Structure 1
């Protein structure tokens, strides 16, 4: 009854316009007074609406993979796990090889990787980022099961789609001349604009370097016993670790021999995937060191038969995880 009276009072004053500005203000005040207790805020106590709240203060290494099979071995080794769910993504804190970590899935694709890398940086106290997962092999010197640890990553599908001015001939707009690399048909790779707190003005950047100290630790890990068999499926060679060189990422699953050859020739890439360069760009923007371990599950269209990913995915995922575990053991 009291609330109904207040509503009628506001309606009466509004309808008949008594000194419009004053009466509207008074009526709004009356409504507030009649509304009863204010609803509880949706954000945690002490937090500011719209501002991310960190879930714990412990400095942690973010350990990420794109999809579940890549993270299985690592989750099984995690000590003292505690799970947090944010926007539907599970973040599991604990210790791995004696190091405080938070494990999670980036999701497949550049957009998912960018979004969830920023999410973990906003909600946890992240000191470093490490990525473990599978990839398509580009360098002919590498084999399925090998693990690549590139020194830098770029986006091969950050491109200009050029105009065809004659059959098979493409022309770049004059204002973009000098911003592109050799093309694959109409696709001309180009740098991406970046900003950081230290450099708020946009800067064009093509390669996102991994942390040199983390790379040096990876170089010094020595020989790691990588697996050649999983669930009755075996490789014909012993997998090896390669540290250094380049990696590239894009929004496509590549199973094309011509593009594989182009990626190696143009970028001197060892591997290509769908996430790491996006992680590298977010890490760069936030000034957080990162590194990625990628094991070849297939040859990105370079094999003689059908794509090999499904057959050798588990071997590759476990090998990448083994290298990451060795890295964490060596990391001081």
Structure 2
């Protein structure tokens, strides 16, 4: 016996998760960090707050530097960042996406505490692991579709976006929005950054650097050899675990994106132990300071 169409629809509503519904229609800037130490100063700078919770993710709407915002944690790493960004886009009227947090330095010309705003982001471990043969590593050109050099068995791949013909060129780079980058350049020179954390001070006064490439992967990088590979092959200036995923989601949703990342360590380039835990608070606050100045400078 066939059930009437209306009955089938009602059954689907009872057994399926609720469809995403808008929680707030005010046009807002999404301000995102990955984990709690990065977001403290941004949350403290948000007033007139209202909190929503969806699937364990807390979204806080309010005002930051006179602008309507929604502030939330993406969670650490690529899948979390993509998932929560899409959740926010589905439930809020987001006009721009701003990411704030720490990162590992790749460019040896940069120093811990610097805030770096990359022009574009790549997912550096989107790759093919090659077969090892008597002749060395072998991978089909159709599998490794990027011209970037390999690192041993790891051959970078580009990404075919949903809805794109499989014969179309694969995408390696996901851009920051040019207009947002221009605003970042305007505020960069005027933002005071911290140089000391507790009883430990940086050798160089931190600075804001706008431009260049960033890379992201679901890996905490503390390896000097692979760091050098990223610099030589991707011309990367910094590495993190979320920004490229958020840039990817922003591109598909046609939403302007920018990421501010302050260097907490040198991704395996330091002479001693990794410096992240020593300078994480300083780097987080430096990034947040620049983001607040950036949000204030945004046109309404």
TM-score by structure 1 length?
0.83
Which residue number in structure 1 is paired with residue 228 of structure 2?
Answer: 261
Alignment correspondent of 1:237: 204
Residues 218/174 of structure 1: CA separation in 2 closer, same or farther (3 Å cut): closer
1:107–1:177 distance in 2 versus 1, CA, 3 Å: closer
What is the rounded CA distance, in whole Å, between the counterparts of 2:14 and 2:288 in structure 1?
Answer: 38
What is the Cα-based RMSD across aligned positions, in Å?
2.2
Structure 2 residue corresponding to 1:324, chosen from 288, 291, 295: 291
**1:217 equivalent in alignment to 2:178:** no
1:132 aligns with 100
User: Partners of 1:150 and 1:172 in 2: how far apart?
Assistant: 31
SS of 1:323 mapped into structure 2: helix
Match of 2:252 in 1: 285
Q: How do 1:76-87 residues align onto structure 2 when only pairs under 5 Å count?
A: 76-87=44-55
CA separation in 2, counterparts of 1:209 and 1:179?
A: 17
Q: Aligned pair in 2 of structure 1 residues 60, 175: CA closer, same or farther (>3 Å)?
A: same
Is the partner of 2:287 in helix, strand or coil?
A: helix
Where 2:125 maps in the other structure, the secondary structure is coil
Q: List gaps (5 residues or longer) in structure 1.
A: 1-20, 26-31, 33-37
Change in 2 beyond 3 A, CA 1:315/1:83: same
Q: Which residue of 1 aligns with 2:33?
A: 65
1:329 positional shift: 1.3
Matched-pair contact (CA < 8 Å) for 2:146–2:172: no
1:160 aligns with 2:122: no
* Contact map agreement 1:180 1:188 (CA 8 A) in 2: no
Q: Is the 8 A contact 1:223 1:241 kept in 2?
A: no
Q: Structure 2 stretches of 5 or more lacking a match?
A: none
Q: CA deviation at 1:174?
A: 4.0
Paired residue for 2:58?
90
Aligned mates of 1:256, 1:88 — CA distance in 2 = 34
Partner of 1:302: 269
Alignment of 1:89-238 (within 5 A): 89-166=57-134, 169-176=136-143, 178-195=145-162, 201=165, 203=168, 204-221=170-187, 222-238=189-205
Q: CA deviation at 1:50?
A: 3.9
Q: Helix, strand or coil for the counterpart of 1:79?
A: strand
- Structure of greater relative contact order (alpha carbons < 8 Å, 6+ residues apart): 2
Whole-Å separation in 1 of the counterparts to 2:45 and 2:118: 25
How far is 1:328 from its partner?
0.8
- CA deviations 1:69-119 (Å, max 9, x no partner) are 100001011111111111101101000011100000000010000100100
Task: Tell me the distance in 2 between the aligned counterparts of 1:305 and 1:136.
Answer: 15
If you compute each CA radius of gyration, which structure gives the higher value, 1 or 2? 1
Cα separation, 2, equivalents of 1:177 and 1:154: 15
- CA shift in 2, pair 1:234/1:174, >3 Å: closer
Distance 1:200 1:267, change over 3 A: closer
